Amino acid sequence: MSGAPGGRSRLRGPCGNPGCKDMHNSSGQWKLIPDGDNSKPVRAGATCLCKKAACWRYFLLKDPPQKPGRKRVYADVAVPVGGSINDGIHPPIIESIGEIWGIRICNIAVMGDEERENPLVKRKTEFCVHGEFYRSEEAKNPVYGAWWVRRRWLVEATSQEVVDEAVGRFAAACDETSDEDYEEEAE
C-alpha cells in the first residue's frame, strides 16, 4: 500500500480507516498506510490515513487514549518553593567544601500549611554545600555538586575548623553583597 504506479505516492483521501467519520478530510495532512503486518481491514481504494488520533490508533501508530484526569508527568518532577533538585539525600562522603551557598534552619518545601503559619518549633541548621562528594567507599571519582547538608554531619565528616572557615567565607561574601547587586540582577 505504499503508493501509486510510477513510484509517485498518492497522498490523498479517502482515509483507510473504515470507521473514519470524515474520510475525505485529512485534518491537515495525509500519511501513507504503513506496510507490513497489518491485519486490519482497509477501506477499498485507500492508500493513506488522515491525521485524526482515532485513525492513527486504528493503524497502531499512536498509543491508546489515557484515562481522563491523569496526573501530568511534570507534576512529579516540579521543584517546590524553597526546594532544589539536589534537596534529597546527599552523597554519603564529602571530600572537600568548595563554597557554602546558603544556610537554613528549616525546609519550607516539606512543611505543611499549618507548620508554615506557626512559629518554628524544631530547628536544624543546614548548609547548602558545593563541593566534592563520593557516592560510596568504592567510588573512584568524586561528584561535584551542591546539596543541603546538616551542620552536625558536616562537622563529623570534616572538622569544626573546616566548617567554621567555610562559614566565615560565606559570611564575608554576604557582607560584601549589597542591595544594589540584587537590583542590577532584577533589571
Predicted confidence (pLDDT) at residue 28 exceeds the cutoff of 60: yes
Query: In the chain, what are the domain boundaries?
Result: 1-65, 93-177
Which residue in 15, 11, 18 sits closest to 40, CA to CA?
A: 18
pTM listed for this prediction: 0.47
* 104-156: pLDDT as tens digits: 888 887 888 888 888 888 888 888 899 898 888 888 888 888 888 888 888 88
* 79-109: pLDDT as tens digits: 444 444 445 577 778 888 999 988 888 888 7
Q: How far are the Cα atoms of 38, 54, 63, 130, 186 from residue 60, in angstroms, in the given order?
A: 9, 10, 7, 49, 50
Average pLDDT, the chain: 77
* 41-52: pLDDT as tens digits: 888 888 888 888
Task: Classify each residue of 143-173 as buried b or exposed e, where b means 16 or more C-beta atoms within 10 Å of its C-beta.
Answer: eeebbbbeeeebeebbeeeebeebbeebeee
